[in-house]
Structure 1
């Protein structure tokens, strides 16, 4: 009885399966399927990192992010540049700031009254 996975895997996984004496059943996804499965893989890897919190799991998240860049036609360098720009504009996440709410200023609430 085959074990069913039905998910995107790293390119060398079929070779690993064969090295274990088993026969992988695979296909190469078309663009639409690949895009859908890549997003599902990103969610899967993020969930695994949330559970495990290991460097290996975080590396898996990064590998999927890199694949997402390629799929969208961006380079990893472009991603890093955009990350730096956003960090310069809005900061990073190192300080642990939690935004609980935003209260309208009095001038904003009055400008809406007619």
Structure 2
């Protein structure tokens, strides 16, 4: 059986990205969560808990802009923003299937998770 997981990253410019993974490999990468209403990621996480394929109806997928065939879990996502924009900004894991890490978040992460 396939395992669907998710990870949320925040860059030091306030950008928020959610990566949907299947068996550790990226299926979708969504950006611009920082522009949603307060608590938008709480709603997204609840949707995924109820239906692991809920992401299929979401907008903002940038997986086609990124070579997911060369995916290196962790290291690749950490540098996702840098590779897509040529701007040297680092991504920090702020949430995943195992928890939400408020101490790691900047203002955008706190707002998107409703904190």
TM-score, structure 2 as length reference: 0.23
Higher normalized strand content (fraction of residues) = 2
Bigger helix share: 1
**What's the TM-score once normalised by structure 1's chain length?**
0.23
Higher-Rg member (1/2): 1
